[in-house]
Amino acid sequence: MTIRSSGGLSDADIDRMVSEAEAAKDKDEEARKIIDLKNEADQFIYNTEKQLTEHSARIPQNIKDQVRTDISAVNEAIVSENAEKISESLERLKNTSMEIGKSIYDNNDNSSE
């Protein structure tokens, strides 16, 4: 970032403005990280809920319940705006949602035999 004196700013004012901008940069990066995580979580929740709906008959109830519990945890983490909580709960949901694919695949194997 470049700050130039065009209106009679002193060197001290320019230095202060530069340091304020650098301090805000860290906050901005953290805010962007949270926004990106929230977007990723929202998209993953949407896709997971879509799979639950489309393949409901092939997915055991215990897996559906666990996935819904994990979706709720991700939604709570999103509201908290805590990057670590969002990441952890999203990772749990990703792991649990893999069970949806396994169930669908297993049911396809069983029905084709």
How many whole angstroms separate alpha carbon 41 and alpha carbon 57? 25
**What is the b/e burial string over 56-84, where b = at least 16 CB atoms within 10 angstroms of the residue's CB?**
eeebeeebbebbeebbebbeebbeeeebe
pLDDT, tens digit, for every residue of 13-45?
888 998 889 889 988 999 999 999 999 999 999
At residue 79, the pLDDT reads 96
Across the range 57-64, mean pLDDT stands at 93
pLDDT band, residue 107 (cuts 50/70/90) = confident
At residue 101, the pLDDT reads 87
Across the range 81-109, mean pLDDT stands at 90
Residues 6+ apart with CB under 8 A from 78: 38, 41, 42, 86
CATH of 11-112 among 1.50.10.20, 2.40.50.140, 1.20.1270.10, 3.50.50.60: 1.20.1270.10
Domain ranges of the chain: 11-112
pTM for the full predicted model: 0.76
Reported as half-sphere exposure (CB side, CA atoms, 13 A), residue 76 has a value of 10
Structure-token pair, residue 93: 């949901």
Reported as half-sphere exposure (CB side, CA atoms, 13 A), residue 88 has a value of 9
